[in-house]
């Protein structure tokens, strides 16, 4: 087995891994190895925003997990896809750019992590982004990730914004600044018509400097220990087993499913779970894989009352070719948008302490996933529960690293999750009844949803809800007995081992996770490098004033 020595080994090249490797590579004389299980992101379908559904059919570039059976969903299995390529899920996602609600991060501080308040996180949000409307007290203007405000100039998008205001919601100019709650035009991590993933914005430039090395198609089998100190990893490339040594640290950035799996495979976790599989425990960290949480979503769908409401309808080969050519040569047109151009954050009921439902709006019906283009005139409000109380787990079914772990998300297991999502879809249906939709709204695919009793709404939810693909908190940061890492991302009871990815989030944030994952990585890598953290920037926000 070939062995190479580096200062740091980073497992995973997703949103967090790309940031960590790039920032470590800024230090002179430091050698960094990045191990990525998948291939390159060098594909037109990855770079073109509107083609985001196509990579989902590429088994080389995806992890396809099954969560379940989900008891609260009558035993359903839910397919969960993650990115397996340079850039990870950031090369696969919808590019919707959401920081989360400031109260989310103040909640982290209340959990015993005072350095993770909104004031402490804000400077790192600003550091990572280049906002197209310029820097201000809340926004950054010169970071690696380009942020584009979408146009939302089609009549269907304007009707959406008007209907939300007619319902009583404010029009929010920048939901990533003072006020999250309200209807808004979305921002996206799109750079002049091209997907701006962490892999593209951070890791690719770092590779050109020479002290960061990327090994693609490398499946890490375990972290190697000397006593309780992580000293390297064993990994596989093309059937060949290799070892790499880390003189300083091994940093896991595999995400909410892969990072806990690798810890367990390496002997970090509950002994009673590891020993029956023949895995020798290294340290007893009981929380590994526990506390998994994910955003659930269900679509409230309406057909259009007339032709011409939806874009991208009746796309034949010739029309698709024109869209592709316009994007390829001009970086403009339908190919340059992710189609999620407007959205909402609102409260499911007056009982919610702050906005707990997100809308991601699509101006069409039909199957947008898996590269299909059978689009129908209409629109759908993807209604997402932002802060579910249900918790799941990631556990091993085998000591074989090529086998997926067992994932139980426990979607809608908590009664309050059921209540909040039922209330959320009813309010959504009420928004669609506003007069702004009168000229476009046809028949509902679930008629009268706003008036139906719980006895009819809940079975519909259980049958139709899915994931928003935002798993986190399976290696939770904290100070209690079930936490896995400390405030600096160090795995409890070990040395030279950290986890830096969405799995360490103490609580899920209110919105898409790509942006807060990059923020978290920017903040934690400063601790790895021994740098003083950026000074906190206390700012007012709508839910605090």
| Active-site residue list | 470
- What is the spatial distance between Cα 79 and Cα 243, in angstroms, rounded to a whole number? 33
Tally of residues, the chain: 545
In the block, tokens 């400063």 appear at: 526
SS3 of 523, please? helix
Q: Residue 92 to residues 15, 145, 154, 333, 403: CA-CA distances in angstroms?
A: 11, 16, 25, 20, 22
- What is the spatial distance between Cα 9 and Cα 223, in angstroms, rounded to a whole number? 10
- What is the spatial distance between Cα 84 and Cα 64, in angstroms, rounded to a whole number? 9
In the block, tokens 């951070």 appear at: 202
Q: Residue 257 to residues 389, 409, 473, 477: CA-CA distances in angstroms?
A: 19, 11, 10, 16
- What is the spatial distance between Cα 182 and Cα 160, in angstroms, rounded to a whole number? 12
Angle, vertex CA 55, rays to CA 127 and CA 148, nearest 5: 30
DSSP annotation string for 302-371 = EEESSTTSSSS-S--HHHHHHHHHHHHHHS-SGGG--S--EEEEE-SSTT-SS--EEEEEESSEE--STT
Q: Residue 488 to residues 48, 144, 332, 369, 395: CA-CA distances in angstroms?
A: 36, 23, 42, 37, 24
| Closest of 160, 73, 124 to residue 520, by C-alpha | 124
* Chain-centre distance for alpha carbon 182: 21
Structure token digits, residue 474: 């399976």
Q: Give the largest Cα separation in the chain, rounded.
A: 69
- Name 323's Cβ contacts closer than 8 Å, sequence gap at least 6: 50, 315, 333, 334, 335
Structure token digits, residue 530: 């021994």
Residue 216 CB neighbours (<10 A): 16
Structure token digits, residue 97: 């750019």
- Contact status, residue 41 vs residue 86, Cβ threshold 8 Å: yes
| Closest of 376, 347, 329, 360 to residue 167, by C-alpha | 347
- What is the spatial distance between Cα 545 and Cα 194, in angstroms, rounded to a whole number? 38
For 268-329, list the strands marked E by DSSP.
Answer: 290-292, 296-304
- What is the spatial distance between Cα 276 and Cα 205, in angstroms, rounded to a whole number? 45
């Amino acid at each position: 087995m070939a062995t190479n020595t580096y200062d740091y080994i980073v497992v995973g090249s997703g949103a967090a891994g790309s940031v960590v490797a790039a920032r470590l590579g800024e230090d002179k004389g430091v050698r960094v190895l990045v191990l990525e299980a998948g291939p390159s992101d060098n594909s037109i379908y990855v770079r073109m925003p509107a083609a985001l559904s196509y990579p989902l059919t590429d088994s080389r570039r995806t992890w396809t997990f099954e969560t379940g059976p989900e008891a609260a969903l009558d035993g359903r299995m839910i397919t969960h896809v993650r990115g397996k390529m340079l850039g990870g899920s950031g090369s696969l996602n919808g590019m919707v750019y959401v920081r989360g609600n400031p109260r989310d991060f103040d909640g982290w501080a209340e959990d015993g992590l005072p350095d993770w308040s909104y004031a402490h996180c804000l400077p790192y949000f600003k550091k990572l982004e280049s906002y197209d409307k310029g820097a201000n007290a809340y926004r950054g203007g010169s970071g690696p990730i380009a942020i584009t405000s979408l146009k939302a100039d089609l009549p269907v998008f304007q009707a959406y914004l008007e209907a939300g205001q007619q319902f009583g919601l404010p029009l929010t100019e920048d939901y990533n600044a003072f006020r999250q709650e309200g209807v808004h035009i979305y921002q996206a991590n799109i750079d002049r018509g091209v997907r701006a993933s962490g892999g593209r914005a951070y890791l690719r430039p770092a590779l050109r400097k020479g002290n960061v090395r990327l090994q693609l198609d490398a499946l890490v089998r375990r972290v190697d220990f000397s006593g309780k100190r992580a000293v390297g990893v064993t990994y596989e490339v093309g059937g060949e087993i290799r070892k790499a040594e880390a003189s300083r640290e091994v940093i896991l950035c595999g995400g909410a499913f892969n990072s806990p799996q690798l810890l367990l495979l390496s002997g970090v976790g509950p002994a009673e779970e590891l020993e029956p599989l023949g895995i020798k425990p290294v340290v007893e960290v009981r929380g590994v894989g526990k506390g998994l949480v994910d955003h659930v979503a269900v679509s409230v769908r309406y057909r259009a009352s007339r032709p011409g409401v939806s874009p991208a309808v009746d796309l034949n080969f010739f029309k698709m070719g024109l869209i592709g050519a316009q994007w390829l040569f001009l970086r403009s047109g339908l190919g340059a948008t992710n189609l999620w151009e407007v959205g909402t954050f609102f409260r499911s009921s007056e009982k919610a302490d702050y906005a707990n439902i997100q809308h991601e709006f699509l101006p069409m019906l039909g199957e947008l996933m898996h590269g299909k283009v059978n689009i129908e005139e209409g629109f759908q409000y993807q209604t997402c529960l932002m802060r579910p109380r249900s918790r799941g787990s990631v556990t091993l079914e085998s000591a074989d690293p090529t086998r997926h772990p067992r994932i139980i998300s426990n979607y809608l297991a908590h009664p309050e999750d059921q209540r909040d999502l039922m209330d959320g879809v009813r309010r959504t249906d009420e928004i669609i009844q506003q007069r702004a939709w009168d000229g476009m709204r046809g028949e509902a695919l679930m008629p009268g949803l706003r008036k139906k009793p719980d006895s009819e709404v809940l079975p519909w939810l259980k049958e139709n809800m899915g994931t928003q693909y935002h798993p986190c908190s399976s290696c939770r940061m904290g100070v209690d007995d079930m936490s896995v890492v400390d405030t600096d991302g160090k795995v409890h009871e070990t040395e030279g081992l950290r986890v830096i990815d969405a799995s360490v989030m103490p609580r899920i944030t209110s919105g898409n996770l790509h942006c807060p994952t990059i923020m978290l990585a920017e903040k934690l890598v400063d601790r790895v490098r021994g740098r003083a953290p950026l000074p906190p920037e206390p700012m007012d926000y709508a839910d605090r004033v």
